[in-house]
Amino acid sequence: MAAARGDAVSNINALRSAAARYVFSLSARRDRMGRLASPTRVAILNVDQTRKVTTLRRREIEEGEEDRRLVRSRALNGYFEYRAYNRNRNSNYAAVGGQKLDSSVSKPVFRPYDICFHGRRNRALIEATLPGENNESKIEKHEEWTKGSLLRPGMVLLKNFISHDEQVDIVKVCRDLGLGLGGFYQPGYANGAKLQLKMMCLGIDWNPRTYKYGNKRIFDGSTPPSIPNHFIKLVRRAIQEAQSLTKKEYRASKVEDVLPSMTPDICIVNFYTKNGKLGLHQDRDESRESLRKGLPVVSFSIGDSADFLYGDERNVHKAEGVILESGDVLIFGGESRRVFHGVRSVLPNSAPKELLRDSGLSPGRLNLTFRQY
């Protein structure tokens, strides 16, 4: 009898060791694959040594499940149990293009998105020669911009306002800033949905999860780069031109009442790929004072054209549309400051070929929106 009892105890001990080895091997395997960010806890609870284990239920821990998963093996009066904590417990909200988790630290390794071609594709694009044009004609046709138009009170479109050289410069500056700290990433909303664009903030960071501004980007703690001074000068020049057109159209003695001036301290830079879009929304996260005064939003379009929507309601069927082409500047302030607006689609292969050649911009639309907090 004593010998039989000793054999039973030995069998139970062997079972416990085997079960523990299975759990730790599972954990190690998942860790080598780089998918486990939290430690595995193992506990043996109240295992009765008088009966053999009859079942062992195993479960894989799947990404995105609840914080704790239990895998239990029933014994006579207790359970074998281990808990695997959700590996995303400490992860950040934004799935950045190319970003990977480092199993040795809790913060992700941030790899910003590159808005330009690189390698052989870029060299081939830059070295390409467009038939029937030279460098002089290429630049000259962009120096003369088409006069703007008033879409509605406080909303002005300046066609082809940004010259070829200025567009190339903007692309190169945004690329350099976008590859550094605080660079381009794919933002996401609080519900987990991702915006169909890449984003970088200059001056002050905007968090699409909280719809608030801050001095640092939440998910990596980076400080937004400053707005380049020549960007600010171009914004001021565009506002002055829009005010001039507004004054002629409305014969207003105080044009500031229709379209106020502003000095930007915020620039949200978005890059839309060929499938990029943005639903109808209002820009209303700035300060109450800024919104009360109707300080305008100034938008630069570079690269592929966009089918832009705007209206008084969040209804695409009632919204009006306009095509924003490379070099266009759109300004909306005053009574149009809270207009609903969005991008229905990006028109593929519509960017000026010489711009792609001289800047190396990838297919898509680069959009800079300036505002004053």
Average pLDDT for 321-341: 98
Going by the annotation, the residues of the binding site are 281, 283, 341
Nearest-angstrom CA–CA distance, 356 and 125:
7
Helix (H), strand (E) at residue 11? helix 2-32
Question: Does position 268 have pLDDT exceeding 70, yes or no?
Answer: yes
Average pLDDT value over all residues in the chain: 76
Spell out the alpha helix ranges (H) of 251-340: 288-293
Block residue for tokens 């070295």: 127
Q: Tokens 């940004």 sit at which residue?
A: 162
Rg (CA), the chain: 29
Q: How far apart are CA 285 and CA 114, in angstroms?
A: 28
Binding-site annotation: residue ranges for Fe cation: 281, 283, 341
- Greater confidence, 89 or 260? 260
Q: Which helix H or strand E contains 267, and what residues bound it?
A: strand 266-272
Are 173 and 181 in contact by the 8 Å Cβ rule? The answer is: no
pLDDT, position 146: 65
Q: How confident is the model at residue 94, as a pLDDT?
A: 34
Q: Does domain 120-371 have CATH number 3.40.50.720?
A: no
State the average pLDDT over residues 196-221: 95
Residue 137 has pLDDT above 50, yes or no: no
pLDDT recorded at residue 16: 62
Contact 135, 165 (CB under 8 A): no
Task: Read off the amino acid at residue 278.
Answer: L
Edge-to-edge strand ranges of the sheet holding 320-324: 278-281, 340-347, 305-311, 320-324
Q: What is the mean pLDDT of residues 37-44?
A: 38
Confidence of residue 250 (pLDDT cuts 50, 70, 90): confident
Map out the domains of the chain as residue ranges. Answer: 2-85, 120-371
